[in-house]
Amino acid sequence: MIDPVVLKGFRDSLPKDEIPKKKIIRKLEDVFTSYGFSPIDTPVLEYTEVLLGKGGGETDKQIFRFKDNGGRDVAMRFDLTVPFARFMAAHHSEVGVPFKRYHISKVWRGENPQKGRYREFIQCDFDIVGADNTLSDTEILSMMHASFAALGIERFTFHISHRGLFSLFLAEIGIEDKSIEVLRTVDKLRKIGSDEVKKILTEITGDAGKADAVISFITAGDGKGFLETLETLEGLSGGESDASRRMREIYSILTSLGIEKSFVFDPSITRGLDYYTGIVYETFLDDLPAIGSVCSGGRYNDLASLYMKEKTPGVGSSIGLDRLLAALEELGSPLLSDTAEADIMIVPENGKEGEALSKAAELRKRGLRVSVYLLPEAKMKRIYAAAETAKIPYLMTFSDGTFSIKNLATRESLTGDEAIERLIEERVN
Amino acid sequence: MIDPVVLKGFRDSLPKDEIPKKKIIRKLEDVFTSYGFSPIDTPVLEYTEVLLGKGGGETDKQIFRFKDNGGRDVAMRFDLTVPFARFMAAHHSEVGVPFKRYHISKVWRGENPQKGRYREFIQCDFDIVGADNTLSDTEILSMMHASFAALGIERFTFHISHRGLFSLFLAEIGIEDKSIEVLRTVDKLRKIGSDEVKKILTEITGDAGKADAVISFITAGDGKGFLETLETLEGLSGGESDASRRMREIYSILTSLGIEKSFVFDPSITRGLDYYTGIVYETFLDDLPAIGSVCSGGRYNDLASLYMKEKTPGVGSSIGLDRLLAALEELGSPLLSDTAEADIMIVPENGKEGEALSKAAELRKRGLRVSVYLLPEAKMKRIYAAAETAKIPYLMTFSDGTFSIKNLATRESLTGDEAIERLIEERVN
């Protein structure tokens, strides 16, 4: 016998996990599709050089990398951004720009598994490439808003800032040469608190006054409205600029769409990475702030520089699906609690299987999900247990060719066509 | 610069490929779900020993196998059956039996790429485990019928046989000890023709008469109805048996479901593998016989013997999604030809982006897929080209705040709310 175990950091997905996951993915796909975003897919395995570039670095150690049977140095993708960059370099003329894509798929990282972190997990990325303007920034933000609304989450807030504004401010106080270290430090604000951030900033800049100035900048939005914050930041960054104008225009369109209340100007959002050049954002669930951002991203000015000379500016977001699922579970979302594998279980009468299967076919045509119980000679106790395991709320049994439908929660029994109409009313309409 | 190439035998999926693939997967999922089949997922990477067993063999050479950073011998799954067996051994008490699952996902094989064969491809498997009876055999066949009907394929035929019947026949003519070689040879009938099969069978049995007898058996269904074939085969296999009774019962239920005309009794179907013990079947598209079987499977009496002592009998099928997609394309299926990335493209008026995005939001609420063109200052020629690349049939432009909708095929232009109602009528309802 071989032990039927999975690898450390990997897991099986049972129906109770997979049913809600598929529901959520479908809802997101429906929103993305309604915005004219197109699905793409890329190989799970790629040349290591394509994924890592010629350098390597931190990611290198976390990657599943090996020599294939043909001696090629290959690796499993560790995100969906790098393959998308490679994809755009290969297909930009075929797909045309501006191009809007989404990609929901697994990625792999060999990092040490912790609670809630796995070596195999699902990313959900969406990007607009080939346009650097207010319109595309707003379109991404609007789609994020529509996505969370479609998931039935009522209280969420997008924290948004602009990297250009931050850079102007750093130049203003004369520490633009330290920008990468400052960005990385500020990005840790939520984790380590402002005292610790100030301490590190003082070390970096060698000047407690400058550390204080940075803290004032990143907390300038606290308790203030969007436009008020924007004005304060303009003041701190040398007056009106392309960056501040962009933020004002974005806010104006969000307002005309009636969704501006979900957006706060939060200059502490920097997204650590050097990669971003324009707006940056994170998404928090108002009722679960501790879970951290469930959808993050921003604007970059060149996606595919590793693979082609043409610049591909873009703006994009990534939803960590596993974190989102955990959040929805904690919020008691009905998307997660209804994991019924069918609406009704039909138990055929011995020797009259044809009748039961015909009834099943009829109910399926009406939109019901019908599970036929396949060991009809089993004891009723076992049949009830099976319905319970699969969270199926109704049971249809036959006797002398006539059926009755039992509500397994209330134990109420009904017969006749009216019972079926009631069932369809409840489960389909 | 790094060359943005994919590995040999791998490929990117562009929107024109991915949109129909997702449509087809959704349709299949909807059918499976309506039958109370539940989705599961398993890790892409597993211990090599779990996937290959202690032996190894032919599959061994085709597998993507390596040592991970922790020194574990791991491999990427090469099918969905072995992981399902491991899954059942690990979770049988949690999911309960009978258990009906489907799994649509990628698998990897390092075989030499040929036309239409790739190293990364999608399998679609569905199985019922924990029941060995007529009812579950019929339920699988009925679901296969519903699946092909849901894909809009009108002419398909399930070729079905029973391995038990074949074994009885081999015993009847005294060559049951050669059954594995005979099965494998018969399985090649479609590929190599009956003369070649006869030649090999003569070599195996050392008796041209027995080879002739096998040929008579496997061609006994030619031009005959289901029940007539069944009677002939009963005659050749020593009279009525459990196997022949099962086939008669299955046919009777298929008839009461009104779908029996899609099933032919074809005793040349053996499915090569030793693994099958009951019904076996392949599915052919009447208008594309040369493409081969697009959905195959059968009954086995023990799924998970590698991992646990309890027997897990089952019946299951596998659809090769890439082959099915190729077939649908050749059949001119509308599922494949409509690859529009949106129903309408909206081009905002400069400075009035909010109005255009509000109109987009309104149309999305009505069910339309709306792509906002993100470089509104572009020349109309470029905008038309973008709509054409994305196969979007309508264009909405604004002038002084009023919109007009152009049908890009007919060049007809319409304005006003009536135009929107017509659009919704055509694209949504």
State ipTM: 0.95
Beta strands per DSSP E along A290-379: 295-300, 314-320, 344-347, 370-372
Q: What is the mean predicted confidence (pLDDT) over B225-246?
A: 97
- Contacting residues of B for A139, CB less than 8 Å apart: 357, 372, 374
Structure tokens at B416: 């006003």
* Percentage, residues of chain B above pLDDT 70: 98
- 3 state SS of A275: coil
Contact of A165 with A298, CB cutoff 8 Å: no
Quote the radius of gyration of chain B (alpha carbons, Å): 27
> Do B131 and B97 touch, CB atoms closer than 8 A?
yes
Percentage of residues in chain A having pLDDT higher than 70: 98
Whether residues B7 and A353 touch (CB distance < 8 A) is answered with no
Measured CA to CA, the distance from residue B118 to residue B132 in angstroms comes to 35
Q: How many CB atoms lie within 10 A of CB A360?
A: 25
3-state secondary structure B364-412: HHCCCCEEECCCCCCCHHHHHHHHHHCCCCEEEEEECCEEEEEECCCCC
Give yes or no for a contact between B370 and A36, defined as CB atoms under 8 angstroms apart: yes
Give the start-end residues of each E strand in B239-302.
263-265, 276-285, 295-300
Q: Is any Cβ of chain B less than 8 angstroms from the Cβ of A253?
A: yes
Name the residue in chain B with its Cα closest to that of A112.
Answer: B70
Name the B residues in 17-46 with CB < 8 Å from any A CB.
18-19, 22, 26, 29, 33-36, 38-46
pLDDT tens per residue across span A295-340: 999 999 999 999 999 999 999 999 989 999 999 999 999 888 889 9
Distance CA A368, CA A428 (A): 6
Residue B229 CA to residue B224 CA, distance in Å, equals 6
- Is the whole-model pTM more than 0.90? yes
Residue B30 CB partners (closer than 8 Å, separation 6+)? B150
CA angle centred on B265, ends B260 and B269, rounded to 5°: 130
**Which residue in A18, A76, A106 is closest to B40 by CB distance?**
A18
Interface contact flag, A357 B11, Cβ < 8 Å = no
Mutate to test the interface with B, among A1, A2, A259, A391 (most CBs of B within 10 A): A2
**H/E run at residue A362:** helix A353-365
**B341 at A interface, C-beta within 8 A:** yes
pLDDT tens, N- to C-terminus, chain A (429 residues) = 999 999 999 999 999 999 999 999 999 999 999 999 999 999 999 999 999 987 656 667 789 999 999 999 999 999 999 999 999 999 999 999 999 999 999 999 988 777 768 999 999 999 999 999 999 999 999 999 999 999 999 899 999 999 999 999 999 999 999 998 998 899 888 889 989 999 999 999 999 999 999 999 999 999 999 999 999 999 999 999 999 999 999 999 999 999 999 999 999 998 877 789 999 999 999 999 989 999 999 999 999 999 999 999 999 999 989 999 999 999 999 888 889 999 999 999 988 999 999 999 999 999 999 999 999 899 999 999 999 999 999 999 999 889 999 999 999 999 989 999 999 999 997
Q: Which residues contact A84 (CB under 8 A, 6 or more apart)?
A: A40, A42, A101, A103, A125, A127, A303
Both structure tokens of B381: 């020629």
Helical segments of A151-241, H only: 163-172, 179-186, 189-205, 208-218, 226-236
The H-assigned helical ranges of B163-256 are 163-172, 179-186, 189-205, 208-218, 226-236, 242-256
Structure tokens at B48: 């090599």
Q: How far apart are the first and last CA of chain A?
A: 49
Burial code of A218-232, b = ≥16 C-beta within 10 A, e = fewer?
bebbeeeebeebbbb
